[in-house]
Chain A
Amino acid sequence: MKLKEIAEILSLRPLTPAVGHEREVSGAYVGDLLSDVMANAGEGNIWITLQTHVNIVAVAVFKNLSAIVIVNGRMPDADTMDKAVSEDIPILLTGKSAFETAGKLYQILNVQNLQG
């Protein structure tokens, strides 16, 4: 499934509108500990997190993640945004919690798998 389709269904607000929305999403990972995400997130995953620190972009680049979704209405600072644009990592925002965002995305991705 493409990132832009997911963004539309979940009403995610792109912080970096020009970046990566045609990208394919392979699945998702939820986590706020960078070491955990470094160790366990899968290539092409959407990463759902509360972290806004500039280091999240480096993790996303290293793990080749498809996008970062920042939850609970948290806003990253200018450093994070600049880095995301220069490293070509889409960041999307939502006012919803990680639990709800993951819950809905799980259903969307599951339905898609069932339909092949």
Chain B
Amino acid sequence: MTDKTYEGSFHIVGGDFSHAGEASTELKTILLNAGVEDEFVRRVAIATFEAEMNIMIYATAGILRYIISPEEIRIIAQDMGPGIEDIELAMQEGYSTAPDWVREMGWGAGMGLPNMKKNADIFRIDSVVGEGTTVEMIIKR
């Protein structure tokens, strides 16, 4: 990566599975073109993909922002969704409130948030029931 800071954002529409993963794929391409190490790109891509899927599955809409600096990337995923009642429970591997049709699409098995946490160096989540959820991740190179 160069010494510049890049910023950008993607808008995500809930329920739009045909475009699922396009934002993360685009971010992955930006990083690969910037010549960043593969393993870093993989972590960013996985964490972002999970954030994108969560918005798609649970929320009406959301925005995914990224700020790339030479040392790290900061990703902020903010949605207008139902919010999470019990964050501690939601963070447990295998816990999910996803409906059956989402499970039949191969998602909603309760590994999304654990996966984000696993790949991020710093992970913060903030949620208000009835308003939405914000996830902030910092991934260092």
Give chain A residues whose Cβ lies under 8 Å from the Cβ of B106. 32-33
- The reply to whether B109 and A32 contact each other, CB–CB distance below 8 Å, is yes
For the complex, give the distance between the alpha carbons of A76 and B94 in Å: 8
Compute the total of residue contacts between A and B using a CB distance below 8 Å.
22
A50-B109, A51-B109 in contact; A35/B94 too (CB < 8 A)?
Answer: no
- The reply to whether B103 and A74 contact each other, CB–CB distance below 8 Å, is no
- The reply to whether B104 and A34 contact each other, CB–CB distance below 8 Å, is yes
- The reply to whether A52 and B103 contact each other, CB–CB distance below 8 Å, is no
CB of A64, distance to nearest CB on chain B (Å): 22
Instruction: List B87-110 residues whose CB lies under 8 Å from chain A.
Output: 93-96, 100, 103-104, 106, 109-110
CB of A68, distance to nearest CB on chain B (Å): 14
For the complex, give the distance between the alpha carbons of A77 and B94 in Å: 9
- The reply to whether A74 and B104 contact each other, CB–CB distance below 8 Å, is no
User: Which single residue of chain B is at the shortest CB-CB distance from A75?
Assistant: B94
For the complex, give the distance between the alpha carbons of A51 and B102 in Å: 13
User: Which single residue of chain A is at the shortest CB-CB distance from B111?
Assistant: A50
CB of B19, distance to nearest CB on chain A (Å): 22
User: Which single residue of chain B is at the shortest CB-CB distance from A35?
Assistant: B104
The interface centre, meaning the residue of B94, B106, B109 with most chain A CB atoms within 10 A of its CB, is B94
CB of A66, distance to nearest CB on chain B (Å): 23
- The reply to whether A74 and B100 contact each other, CB–CB distance below 8 Å, is no
Give chain B residues whose Cβ lies under 8 Å from the Cβ of A33. 103-104, 106
User: Which single residue of chain A is at the shortest CB-CB distance from B110?
Assistant: A52
- The reply to whether A34 and B103 contact each other, CB–CB distance below 8 Å, is yes
For the complex, give the distance between the alpha carbons of A23 and B93 in Å: 31
Give chain A residues whose Cβ lies under 8 Å from the Cβ of B95. 77
For the complex, give the distance between the alpha carbons of A33 and B101 in Å: 10
For the complex, give the distance between the alpha carbons of A53 and B109 in Å: 8
User: Which single residue of chain B is at the shortest CB-CB distance from A52?
Assistant: B94
A38-82 interface code vs B (CB 8 A; 1 in, 0 out): 000000000000111101000000000000000000111100000
For the complex, give the distance between the alpha carbons of A55 and B94 in Å: 14
Give chain B residues whose Cβ lies under 8 Å from the Cβ of A76. 94
For the complex, give the distance between the alpha carbons of A52 and B106 in Å: 14
For the complex, give the distance between the alpha carbons of A77 and B95 in Å: 9
Chain A residues near B (Cβ < 8 Å): 32-35, 50-53, 55, 74-77
Chain B residues near A (Cβ < 8 Å): 93-96, 100, 103-104, 106, 109-110
